[in-house]
Amino acid sequence: MDNYHLSILKREAVGNESYLRNKILFAVTVCTVMLDGYLRSNNPVLRNELMPNTPVLVNALIFTISILLIFAVHEYGHRYIAVKRGIDASQPYFIPAPPGMGGTLGAIISQREPPVNRDALFDLGLSGPVSGFIATALIAIVGISLSFIVPTAQVNQWMFDYPEIRFQIMPMPFIMDAIASVIKPTASTEVLIMHPVAFATWVGCIVTFINLIPSWQLDGGHIIRSLVGRESHKIVSIAGVFLLIISGYVVMGVVVAFFMMRQGTESIEPLDDLSALSTSRKFGLLIYVAVMLLSLVALLPV
């Protein structure tokens, strides 16, 4: 006879939330993203050559709106499913960061209770990345439309004229490559210089890809945990760390490995962990793989 166990969890009472912490973190994140956007838009090539009639603050503002909108849509995708599934979840907590990679590390929501079953865990994990990916793709259309096609010879001249500027070839995710090939195709003697809004979508793709890594409590970890179960997911979590590293995200791989060593590889455990993932969700794994591949920004050759 099979052995089953029943877990009885105490549900903590939650009073009226003030959301003060959420508001403070959001305000700080707006400032750090705005600063990042200002420094990025104050590039003399953009300021003097490509967009001489556009104030730097305007570019910084639309960059800020773009990147925060991507992360907000991602988190509210999670929250929508949480509310629909009857899971008590917080409002998003935005995470500020120093200028350099967009001024933010994204946002998170806090769950106060586990999902009912594996289907609910799958829905919870996939909803955020898919929502964020759709927002990223739509904003990418705008950002690439605003970007600039410049002859390579002109870029070489700017490298001479502005030695303080570091010109860098950016590895593009497949989704942005596909959009650019339709909206702004370039010849072999031309390069595409990204508008700040396009850079916001580049950051959005990175965050989506990292979140879909099948490790620990990342969104991809929830998705794969719902498919393979607790024990098998431990092995997949370790493989996910190696996937991060070989894709060029060495620091992120180390961070995830650190938390896995401290907290274990476990994702969220659903209340019903015996019922298998439904067939419709198994087909939904195709969406998971597609979004992950389309969002991949390989910082190292793979």
pLDDT band for position 242 (cuts 50, 70, 90): very high
Mean pLDDT of 116-129: 96
- Which pLDDT belongs to residue 262? 85
Summarised one tens digit per residue, pLDDT across range 160-212 is 999 888 888 889 999 999 999 999 999 999 999 999 999 999 999 999 999 99
Kindly report the average pLDDT of the chain as a whole number: 91
Top mean-pLDDT range of 108-122, 124-138, 231-245: 124-138
What residues have CB less than 8 Å from 118, skipping those under 6 apart?
226, 227, 270, 272, 273, 275, 276, 277, 281
**pTM reported for the whole predicted model:** 0.91
pLDDT at 287 over 70: yes
Percent over 90 (pLDDT), the chain? 73
The type of residue at 235 is: I
pLDDT the model gives residue 12: 59
Q: Is 262 exposed, middle or buried (0-12, 13-18, 19+ CB in 10 A)?
A: exposed
Quote the Cα angle for 9-10-14, to 5°: 130
Q: Domain boundaries in the chain?
A: 20-213
pLDDT tens digits for range 38-66:
999 999 999 999 999 999 999 999 999 99
Distance CA 241, CA 250 (A): 9
> Can you give the pLDDT at residue 129?
97
Report d(CA 296, CA 87) in Å as an integer: 30
Question: Which of residues 264 and 62 earns the better pLDDT score?
Answer: 62
Higher-scoring residue by pLDDT: 260, 291: 291
Of 32-41, 78-87, 266-275, the poorest mean pLDDT is in 266-275
